[in-house]
Chains A and B, each alone.
Chain A
Amino acid sequence: MSHAMVDAATTPVGARIAIELHDVCVAYDRKPVLWDVDASLPAGQLIAIVGPNGGGKSTLLKSILGLVRIASGSISVFGKPVRDVRRLIGYVPQRESVDWDFPVNVADVVLMGRYGRLGWLRRPGREDRRIAAECLDMVGMTSFASRQIGQLSGGQQQRVFLARALAQESTLYLMDEPFAGVDAATEAAMVEVLRTLRNAGKTVIVVHHDLQSVQAYFDHVLLLNQRQIAAGPVREVFTSSNLQKTYGGRLTLMDEAAQALRLSDQPHGRPR
């Protein structure tokens, strides 16, 4: 581990560990919402954070970003505290966190992705606009560039958010339920973009709610229900006993049946 840390400190892009979570515990007021999170999330992979509603998935993402203060433990990103590597992190927040009536159009929103690189007071220039337009094109939303953001459908809004994250040209992406309210075709297109990022050596961490697609989309998974249930390669830790532990009684029979079917197709997925 210490080797990886030293390595990361000098060359973040080549680091093997993207995020090191050490005994992380988060509390709102006195009520702990997240504890015992202790994992190393590998660089250059598609990583899912999976768990029930209220299981602390978004909270974990926000604590990595420094938006939520952790009560104890430590978090390092490429071996450094997050405030030193802000520019390396792209973020797709939850849909509900922004005001869709706000007077901005699609092109403005994507251009916001460039702000982090510019820093205080500097204005986006021609090069920034070009990159933003390119990113908008990558998600197939160019023809909507001058639309007010609230006029788009949920799926289109998520694509714009993805374009904004791309415009950040980050090494590490944190995405909070990017597939929420997205139709199947759009989801497939977005996953394609995520794979492109991964293949270019970037790390993509996604809060994900659909158990069915975890195995198809992701390399690595962190199962979370207030405490960490398991973390590791999908093949090793995405097992029905771990899922049962994660969701407790909340996993419906339907989910379980579907899960059982899926796992039975896999040569080495079955725990029993």
Chain B
Amino acid sequence: MTFDLHIWPEGSEWWVVTAAALACAACAVIGTFLVLRRLSLLGDAISHAILPGIAMAFILSGSRDVWPMLLGALAAGLATAGLTAGIQRVARLGSDASLGVVFSSLFAFGVLLITWVADRVDLDPGCVLYGQIEFVPLDTTTVLGIDIPRAVLWLSMILVADLLFVIVLFKELRLSSFDPAMSTAMGFGAGVIHYLLMTFVAATCVAAFESVGSILVVAMLVAPGATAHLLTDRLSSTLVLAAFLGVTAAFLGFLGAKWFDTSVAGVISVAAGVQFLTAALLAPRHGIVTRWVRRGLLAIRIAREDELAALYRQHEASPEPSATLTVLPPSTLRQRLARRLLRLDQSVRRINGGLSLTPAGLEQGAAIVRAHRLWETYLAQKTDLPLDHLHEASHRVEHFVSAELAKRLSKAVQATQDPHGRPIPPV
């Protein structure tokens, strides 16, 4: 049986994949800054707010050519960003509320304009400005004698522009996104940088709407940046990873769309969502599952050490090397697991129906009890905690005392016995 490769792109479908990858990379890079500046929904807002821009462009130019439409859309996109920031400052609203007010009003204004000109001409933004990624190969242009889709040409230019902008102004973008007050105080006006960024966001949005449609753009401005933010700690890696995730989502999305025979933009957006979900669950530091596993491992380690310390304390009472330790039968799953672990790593062995500590187990057990008693002694010397309160505190700390800390504790307390009169095991 051979693997059926019918979902692999072929012929002109490669143009679709290329356009998707270019659009996703451009949106991911510029969108990372939106995510970091908590302006994630700006793309969504711009997708609505360009309506009055298109209408005005039509009214002023009287044609349905693409160039006036694009310029109108770009102006409307910039107006969205500018008005949002302005309202935020003047009316002291949050960025979400200002954004909401601006784009819904602009959209409504656009609807009014469209109805006003509607009896003269059919001006449906769905046809005029929102492209469909499946149709990318149909509209071609000739560059240096090669026929390439217009969308691919445009998206390449916008991606290059975005990359140049981010690379050249990397220092300024990083400072003003992290600490705008400092940026302005140093002479890199945070406002200037903000509007520069917004210009690139609006241009990217408009170019990408026209080529690949709005769903994809809105999703790709947010998802890859958010995913990369979960996985990285430095801006440069965040940006590179976001671009990589965008391109990957584009490719996987295309394959998925072909498999399910459905909308390419839709499946790419879903793929980006799946990437985010995976990262949210498995990210090395912030991931939900990661944290859960880490906590589980810690619990097991503590159970094992508690069990080992209990065995050591029994051993102290009758310190012959091969003595059988009569331990109470394990009562909880935790203890049973811990004891199995101790047998597996050969810290204890079964002997005459009981357990006996191996030399390795003896040493580890001594270290834990030593940490416990050193800590008790230290607390007794340095605080006025009553004697019966020392155990609880030390019981928690004993699992986190490194050899180095134990050495320093030992030097600080200078004692051979703990406050209860029990010996502190020597090293």
Contact = CB atoms under 8 A, between A and B. Distances in A.
Nearest to B177: A102
A103 B232 contact: yes
Interface in A94-108: 97-99, 101-105, 108
Of the four ranges (under 10, 10 to 19, 20 to 34, 35 or more), the interface on chain A belongs to 20 to 34
Contacts of A119: 187
A73 interface: no
A93 interface: yes
A108 B22 CA distance: 30
A87 B179 CA distance: 17
Given A86-B186, A115-B188, A120-B188, A104 B171 contact: no
A25 B300 CA distance: 63
A97 B182 CA distance: 9
Contacts of B179: 93, 97-98, 112
A116 B186 contact: yes
A120 B181 contact: no
B235 interface: yes
A112 B182 contact: yes
Interface stretch (A9-17, A59-67, A242-250, A255-263): A59-67
Given A103-B229, A103-B238, A67 B185 contact: yes
B178 interface: yes
B233 interface: yes
A31 to B, nearest CB: 12
A86 B233 contact: no
Contacts of A123: 170-171
Interface string A82-95: 01001101010100
B181 A121 contact: no
A91 B174 contact: no
A118 interface: yes
Interface in A54-76: 62, 65-67
Nearest to B169: A121
Of the four ranges (under 10, 10 to 19, 20 to 34, 35 or more), the interface on chain B belongs to 20 to 34
Contacts of A105: 233-234
B184 A67 contact: yes
B367 to A, nearest CB: 26
A87 B175 CA distance: 16
B36 interface: yes
B238 A91 contact: no
Contacts of B238: 103
Contacts of A108: 174, 234-235
A89 B185 CA distance: 8
B36 A65 contact: no
Contact of B182 (A83, A91, A118): A91
B169 A103 contact: no
A98 B36 CA distance: 12
B168 interface: yes
A115 B171 contact: yes
B418 interface: no
Contacts of B44: none
A230 to B, nearest CB: 27
Contact of A97 (B174, B181, B186): B181
Interface string B231-243: 0111101100000
A67 B89 CA distance: 14
B234 A91 contact: no
Contacts of B134: none
B290 to A, nearest CB: 15
Interface string B39-67: 00000000000000000000000000000
Interface in B180-222: 180-182, 184-188
B13 interface: no
- Determine which residue in B177, B179, B232, B235 has the highest number of CB atoms from chain A within 10 A of its CB, and name it: B179
A65 B185 contact: yes
Contacts of A99: 36, 38, 177-178
Interface in B229-259: 229, 232-235, 237-238
A124 interface: yes
Interface in B288-337: none
B187 A86 contact: yes
A103 B235 contact: yes
A97 B190 CA distance: 13
Nearest to A102: B178
A148 interface: yes
13 contacts: A65-B184, A83-B187, A89-B185, A91-B181, A97-B181, A98-B178, A99-B38, A105-B234, A112-B175, A112-B179, A115-B171, A120-B188, A121-B172
Interface of A: 62, 65-67, 83, 86-87, 89, 91, 93, 97-99, 101-105, 108-109, 112, 115-116, 118-121, 123-124, 148
Which 9 A-B residue pairs are closest in the complex by CB-CB distance?
A: A116-B186, A148-B233, A98-B179, A65-B185, A102-B178, A86-B187, A91-B185, A103-B238, A93-B181
Given A93-B179, A103-B238, A116-B187, 14 more contacts: A62-B181, A65-B184, A65-B185, A67-B184, A86-B186, A97-B179, A98-B178, A102-B177, A102-B178, A103-B232, A103-B237, A108-B174, A115-B175, A116-B186
